[in-house]
Amino acid sequence: MRTAVFALTEAGAQLARRVGLALGDQATLFVSSRHAILGAQTFGRLREAVQENFHRYDALVFIMAAGIAVRSIAPYLVSKLEDPAVVVLDEQGRHVISLLSGHVGGANRLTRALAAALGAEPVITTATDVEGLVAPDALAAELGLFPEPHAAILAVNSALLRGESISYYVDPACALAPFYREELARRGLTVRELAERERETRPQVIISAACTEARAGRLFLRPMALRAGVGCRRGTPKAAILAALKESAARIGMPMEAITSLGSTVFKREERGLHEVAAELRRPLYFYANDVLQRIIEQYGLRESDFVRQTIGIGNVCEAAALAAGGGRMALGKTRFEKVTVALVWQQGQEWQESQ
């Protein structure tokens, strides 16, 4: 996930370097202008830096007191279903604290990953994690699903904490129904037949794009669109692009069939390999003009390649093309393969129906 890292002090700026190394290309460092370091952007006032970048990134990491972080983000919070992940580190790097959007936003996963990389202690306080339970909203984040309605998340998780059994159902009409069943079984969760849902009174979790019958204690997990942005060299064959897409999906724990659309620059609209891949996967293929991709680059503060800019006039293709379909959360940042670059973005919305 694209992550902004903020640091106020000299010690914090030095730790930000280590965080940046742990996160790789997906991290952008922001440090106080009083403690500038190579490779980091600087700010005069933290509040203004947070305001500018809060909606640009999937995750925010603050290397400072938790109270400062809370006051900085408070004006921009909407809900646990929309806010970015927020993680806080003390400037000695002893503790990594999952502060906000632990499940849906992925802050708990980010906390564990950073703690492991830094040799720190992860601090996770969400009740289901503390009790070692599989929370449906955390499961949703792992499998590219969007939980709704909001009230049902609390109802189902509360039932779990009371020791109640939760019934899981997978709509057989879902394109990835076998995959979802396998993943639920792998986590020790029993899947019931969808037709039984009206006979059950216990709390329910239903994976479906179409079921809408709401009732108390019924949580829907909606499949999200997975947008693939693709860059490639001239003449790249179909096999190379397919291999890159398959490996990219595998890196986020998904099958290639989860990809719902492909996007690239108009400079690649004559690439036979891209058209053949789209035809084989039976997915729509979009080509975006430079001005569209440039707006996305500026909106999200995407990193640009000088070489790519000199070649086609813009400095980022795959990430910008993945986000151009309507924004979303970066599932996989720019990843290089032989002759191909791929980025993946999860997007909530109606266009999942394209692949159904």
Q: Which domains does the chain have, with CATH numbers?
A: 3-125 (3.40.50.11220), 136-223 (no CATH), 225-355 (3.30.420.180)
Of 66 and 301, the one with more pLDDT: 66
pTM for the predicted model, two decimal places = 0.86
Pairing mode, strands 285-288 and 259-265: parallel
- CA angle centred on 246, ends 241 and 250, rounded to 5°: 145
- Name the pLDDT band for 25 (thresholds 50, 70, 90): confident
Query: Measured between alpha carbons, how far is 149 from 168 in angstroms, rounded to an integer?
Result: 16
Model pLDDT for residues 34-63, shown as the tens digit of each residue = 999 999 999 999 999 999 999 999 999 999
Model confidence at 138: pLDDT above 70 = yes
- Average pLDDT for 286-294: 96
Check pLDDT > 60 for residue 355: no
List, for residues 233-276, the tens digit of each pLDDT value: 999 999 999 999 999 999 999 999 999 999 999 999 999 999 99
Neighbours of 189 (CB within 10 A): 16
Instruction: Identify the pLDDT of residue 196.
Output: 86
Q: What is the DSSP string of 26-88?
A: GEEEEEEGGG--TT-EEES-HHHHHHHHTTT-SEEEEES-HHHHHHHHGGG---TTTSPEEEE
Say which residue, 350 or 247, is predicted with more confidence.
Answer: 247
Residue 349: pLDDT over 70: no
pLDDT exceeds cutoff 70 at 333: yes
* Structure confidence by residue, pLDDT tens digits, 82-119: 999 999 999 999 999 999 999 999 999 999 999 999 99
| Nearest-angstrom CA–CA distance, 53 and 50 | 5
Give the span between the Cα atoms of 84 and 215, in whole angstroms. Answer: 29
Res 174 pLDDT > 50: yes
What does pLDDT average to over the chain?
Answer: 93
Residue 351 pLDDT: 43
The confidence score (pLDDT) of residue 350 equals 47
- pLDDT band with cut points at 50, 70 and 90 for residue 356: very low
Q: What is the pLDDT of residue 97?
A: 97
pLDDT at 155: 92
Query: Which amino acid belongs to residue 282?
Result: R
Q: What is the pLDDT of residue 201?
A: 82
Q: How far is CA 246 from CA 51, 258, 328, in A?
A: 37, 10, 21
